[in-house]
Amino acid sequence: MAIEIKDPELQEIFEHGIFFHGHLCPAMPLGIRAGLLARRRLGVERAKSKELMLLSETGTGHLMQCFLDGVMMATGCTYGKGNCQKLYYNKMAFILIDVVEEKAIRVALKPEFIRQAFKSPFMERRQQGIPPEMIEPEIAEATVNRVLSLPEEDVFKVSDVYSYRYVYSQEGPPEFCQSCGEVVFGSKARVKKGKILCLPCSGYKD
């Protein structure tokens, strides 16, 4: 068995997604589908810069982390670009914001779908503590094929597109730490005994 994908854009993102994510699992492809769905409903391309902002309701925990990698792949919202933020609600959901047009959409996995998914042979093995890359390829592939082929309405709860204004916080000018000499951007420089210091040199936590 192999992975079968008919949608060419989904296929392309999936291939890059596997490379980026590192292993075959159902949550990452689900994130790709969810991100692509959100983007298409908003009528936007993958973010080249900060024109999209992703507020992910995910937190820590394997399933959610894999899911977010897929959403980042499909939307182009990444931690590096600063247009991806985790809200730590520990939910399988996110809000994708079109910063330019000031509108947003929320996508969540349907509870019925999640309940079913936890009964799959793949998830049973995960719950026994087997890492995804150690699960038999036939089982992983069958699970991934299933999540890629289920009808959208069986998997995702999608909001209407609604108005949303998102403003990125302004970055201050660069400062140079008077102890280590390294550059500090934004508001992260601290003043201690009259010296401008980076956080590690200041000894402050925040």
**At how many degrees (to 10) do helices 27-42 and 62-75 cross?**
40
Q: Find the shortest distance in angstroms from Cβ 201 to Zn ion.
A: 3
Give every CB contact of residue 189 below 8 A, 6+ residues apart in sequence.
175, 177, 196, 197, 198
Residue 30 in the binding site for Zn ion (CB under 5 A):
no
Q: Find the shortest distance in angstroms from Cβ 50 to Zn ion.
A: 26
Residue 198 in the binding site for Zn ion (CB under 5 A):
yes
Q: If DSSP codes are grouped into helix, strand and coil, which group holds residue 21? A: helix
Strand runs labelled E in the chain = 52-56, 84-86, 93-98, 103-109, 156-158, 162-163, 175-176, 183-184, 190-192, 195-197
Give whichever of 90 and 179 is closer to Zn ion, judged by the CB atom.
Answer: 179
> Restricting to residues 43-102, which ones interact with Zn ion according to CB under 5 A?
66
Q: Which residues pair with 95 in a beta bridge?
A: 55, 106
Give every CB contact of residue 163 below 8 A, 6+ residues apart in sequence.
102, 103, 104
Residue 32 in the binding site for Zn ion (CB under 5 A):
no
Q: Find the shortest distance in angstroms from Cβ 176 to Zn ion.
A: 9
Given the DSSP bridges, would you call strands 52-56 and 84-86 parallel, antiparallel or unpaired? parallel
Q: Of 18, 25, 47, 189, which one interacts with Zn ion (CB under 5 A)? A: 25
Residue 179 in the binding site for Zn ion (CB under 5 A):
yes
Tell me the site size for Zn ion, rule CB under 5 A.
8
Piece of the chain touching Zn ion by CB under 5 A; list 26-34, 72-80, 142-150, 157-165: 26-34
Residue 177 in the binding site for Zn ion (CB under 5 A):
yes
Which residues contact Zn ion (rule: CB under 5 A)?
25, 28, 66, 177, 179-180, 198, 201
